[in-house]
Amino acid sequence: MSEKIYFYNRRGYQLIKQDISDNGLIVYLYLQQLYKENRTIVHCNTDSIYYFITNKFKIAHHSPYKEKIINGILELDKKNFIKIIKTDNKNFLINIEKLKEPDIINITKEKANPFSESTYEEKEAVRNYFSLFNIEDIQQCIKDNNGRVRIIRYICYILNLKAENNNNYFFKATRDDLSKYCNMDTRTIDRYNKILTKNKILYIKKFKYRYKDSKKTLENNYGLYMDRDKIEQSNKVYIDSIKNIIEYNNVIDN
């Protein structure tokens, strides 16, 4: 599946937009880890990228991952993100100099983001997403998702929304909000949230309160697990600030 991905520089100015498949996205993120080591010409192979995804050393000859990884590399070469210098279809010598700029990846819609009224020039985009996490935790998320790497795209959506919310520790959203933003059904959103919270990537604060006038349940707060203490502190202040317009609700439906 291929979706539009927007690339920005660190000031938030859009540079390019491309349709990138899930295969291309996971290879891109792997190569970004190599670029952070200030290397321009790198050697990688299907086994090393397979390890990045699964925490297993050697890919089986018949594994569907093999074709997906190769297709991801070829896709990035075709779309001029990288330049393949030499390959035997298992080993790849690649020039990754072009990963320097753009160095920020954002997955978003062409329309204005409903979670923020500020412009990209006013936002600090997230750089090097996966440097925030332990790679073992990401690998376990993929494993818990039956080996499907699409959950990686959802993580990028979450990080993008965090960045677009002026890099606060959390952003507010319902399951329906996320479904529309990520172009995924709510059942998928629920499954991904369960996996990411279990592996301590995502922290979700659900409220047992609703607005008195509309009877609408308060939106969930989404943030990174590493920020959970700060999220809880902010939530206490937030609930106290709106206590006159909310009431207790023992049903959580968002």
Q: Do the domain assignments include residue 8?
A: yes
- Dig out the tokens for 2 from the structure: 């291929």
Show which of 111, 133, 155 is a domain's final residue.
133
Q: Do the domain assignments include residue 67?
A: yes
The total of structural domains in the chain comes to: 2
Asked if residue 246 and residue 186 are part of one domain, the reply reads yes
Asked if residue 174 and residue 126 are part of one domain, the reply reads no
Please tell me the predicted confidence (pLDDT) of residue 117.
38
Asked if residue 99 and residue 219 are part of one domain, the reply reads no
Please tell me the predicted confidence (pLDDT) of residue 118.
37
Asked if residue 91 and residue 32 are part of one domain, the reply reads yes
Please tell me the predicted confidence (pLDDT) of residue 104.
46
Show which of 80, 106, 133 is a domain's final residue.
133
pLDDT band, residue 86 (cuts 50/70/90): very high
Asked if residue 189 and residue 98 are part of one domain, the reply reads no
Supply the CATH number for residue 17's domain: 1.10.10
Q: Do the domain assignments include residue 147?
A: no
pLDDT greater than 90 at residue 189:
yes
pLDDT band, residue 77 (cuts 50/70/90): very high
Asked if residue 125 and residue 25 are part of one domain, the reply reads yes
Asked if residue 76 and residue 123 are part of one domain, the reply reads yes
- What range defines the domain where residue 223 resides? 168-254
Q: Do the domain assignments include residue 144?
A: no
Please write down the HEC assignment for all residues of the chain.
CEEEEEEECCCCCEEEEEEEEHHHHHHHHHHHHHHCCCCCEEEEEHHHHHHHHHCCCCCCCCCHHHHHHHHHHHHHHHCCCCEEEEECCCEEEEECHHHCCCCEEECCCCCCCCCCCCCHHHCCCCCCHHHHCCHHHHHHHHHHCCCCCHHHHHHHHHHHHHHHCCCCCEEEECHHHHHHHHCCCHHHHHHHHHHHHHCCCEEEECCCEEECCCCCECCEEEEEHHHHHHHHHHHHHHHHHCCCCEEECCCCCC
| Its pTM surpasses 0.85 | no
Mean pLDDT of 225-244: 85
Q: Do the domain assignments include residue 26?
A: yes
Asked if residue 197 and residue 112 are part of one domain, the reply reads no
Asked if residue 174 and residue 127 are part of one domain, the reply reads no
Asked if residue 93 and residue 8 are part of one domain, the reply reads yes
Asked if residue 220 and residue 102 are part of one domain, the reply reads no
Mean pLDDT estimate for the chain:
76
Q: Do the domain assignments include residue 82?
A: yes
Show which of 89, 114, 133 is a domain's final residue.
133
Q: Do the domain assignments include residue 233?
A: yes
Asked if residue 212 and residue 107 are part of one domain, the reply reads no
Q: Do the domain assignments include residue 125?
A: yes
pLDDT band, residue 84 (cuts 50/70/90): very high
Please tell me the predicted confidence (pLDDT) of residue 113.
42
